[in-house]
Amino acid sequence: MSTGFFGDIKPIKYEGPDSTNPLAYRFYNPDEVVAGKRMEDHLRFAVAYWHSFAWPGGDPFGGQTFERPWFAETMEGARLKADVAFEMFTLLGAPYYCFHDADVRPEGANFSESAERLDEIVGIFEKKQKETGVKLLWGTANLFSNRRFMAGAATNPDPDVFAYAAATVKKCLDVTQRLKGENYVLWGGREGYETLLNTDLKREREQAGRFLSMVVDYKHRIGFKGAILIEPKPQEPTKHQYDYDVATVYGFLKDFGLENEVKVNIEQGHAILAGHSFEHELALANALGIFGSIDMNRNDYQSGWDTDQFPNNVPEMALAYYHVLEGGGFETGGTNFDAKLRRQSLDPQDLLIAHIGGMDCCARGLKAAARMVEDKALSGPLEERYAGWNSAEAKAMLSGQRKLEDIAERVVKEKIEPRPRSGRQEFLENIVNRYV
Ligand code: XUL
Ligand code: CO
């Protein structure tokens, strides 16, 4: 039985690029085959429970703007929220969703009560997943909203907080497994510091390493098949976060011997906050062999914080999916809309329209990316640029067969004078623009 929250709306359908219906897909056509795979199977869209159903519309200067019938922090509210959430997943035809423990159940009086409440809601999710076919892309623990985590979770100076965080992650991993979640995400929202004056960096880093090692160990012991993903972010809410960007996370994983165990969930807005582009983070994760999943959204380029807007820039999406495809596409990962409405977008329909626009934009990006891959539009010129390295002598330099003095001798003997070649940036930019 419908909750009536979205009114009399039929499931959103693909109507093609010429449709002017705001409640239809113009580019996302789940069954359309792109580069040998259905679009739905490429993109693996997920709706984020927190932004769409738990966030009240507040900002630093004002509180709740959204009025939702489930906003009272009660179990009754949590059950209604679950009903509406699955209604929306179904209306959109979104194959996946993601959630934190705190998004789906009200906090209990103690750890055990919170856990019991989570179990009850997870029981509801289990039933609804079966009924609707919607699946869990990833589960995660909220280790940043409650005041107990104000000085960090795993990196807290208080070992009781470390313990509470460990118990929480164990619980969340258990329910993620129960719901057949395909990944488990750790975003270290408060794993960082406000000031170095009260922070022992070395100690906190060791704590984070121990914590993650225990999570990986537990995952194997319960036979969780999904991937463990770290989501990098450089700052906000803390002044400095330890999982700064993909490169920093990789160094951390190497240090604790976890580089083959943990991958990354890369978010567009976090990449921008770190002073990178989204495609930089994706390309680097591919190069390091730790690409896992993406949190899709958009940051306002004029404001220096994480605005979590819905994506609407097709050329950017095209380059993002280009790297996803070049890396072989998603395995357990997918496209999670870690995006929220603007706080003036009050209507239930706004939730649908935002996701429709985001999904269409990703679909256009994917299609452009697939054609670029197929035509070797960028990989062709790239191969050509590095072709010099195919010679026997060049290979010998890289494989350790030459010493510095051998190379120096050859430069003199063969009178080597490098001749610079154009990097052809504008030529390549024009190629990309032909595809979008
Ligand atoms: C915060 C953020 C989180 C994570 C999950 O910036 O991206 O929502 O995706 O904890
Ligand atoms: Co995110």
Contact 26, 360 (CB under 8 A): yes
- Residue-level pLDDT at 302: 87
Token pair 């997918």 is at which residue?
Answer: 334
Task: Give the residue carrying structure tokens 């009660």.
Answer: 74
User: Residue 252 C-alpha to ligand 1 middle, in angstroms?
Assistant: 20
- The pLDDT assigned to 303 comes to 83
Q: Which residues contact 194 (CB under 8 A, 6 or more apart)?
A: 238, 239
Do the beta carbons of residue 334 and residue 44 sit within 8 Å? yes
Question: In this model, does residue 237 exceed pLDDT 90?
Answer: yes
Per-residue pLDDT tens for 313-346? 999 999 999 999 999 999 999 999 999 999 999 9
**Residue range 153-202, pLDDT digits in tens:** 999 999 999 999 999 999 999 999 999 999 999 999 999 999 999 999 99
3-state secondary structure of 338: coil
* Cα–Cα distance, 282 to 426 (Å, whole number): 22
Residues having C-beta closer than 5 Å to ion ligand 2: 267, 295, 338
Q: Is the pTM of this model over 0.75?
A: yes
Q: Is the pLDDT of residue 1 over 80?
A: no
Pocket test for ligand 1, best of 267, 298, 336 (most atoms within 8 A of CB): 267
Report the separation in Å between the CA atom of 267 and the middle of ligand 1, taken as the mean of its atom positions.
8
Judge whether 138 and 178 are in contact, CB under 8 Å.
no
DSSP string, 359-387: HHHHHHHHHHHHHHHHTTTTHHHHHHHTG
Nearest CA to ligand 1 atom 8: 338
Torsion of CA 332, 325, 337, 315, to 10 degrees: 180
**All domains of the chain in start order, with CATH:** 13-375 (3.20.20.150), 381-435 (no CATH)
Outline where DSSP puts E strands in 176-273. Answer: 183-186, 192-193, 227-230, 240-241, 262-267
Q: Sorting pLDDT into bands at 50, 70 and 90, what band is 250?
A: very high
Q: What is the pLDDT of residues 72-91, one digit of tens each?
A: 999 999 999 999 999 999 99
Choose which residue among 233, 293, 337 to substitute to test ligand 1 binding: the one with the highest number of ligand atoms within 8 A of its C-beta: 233
Helix (H) or strand (E) holding 147: none
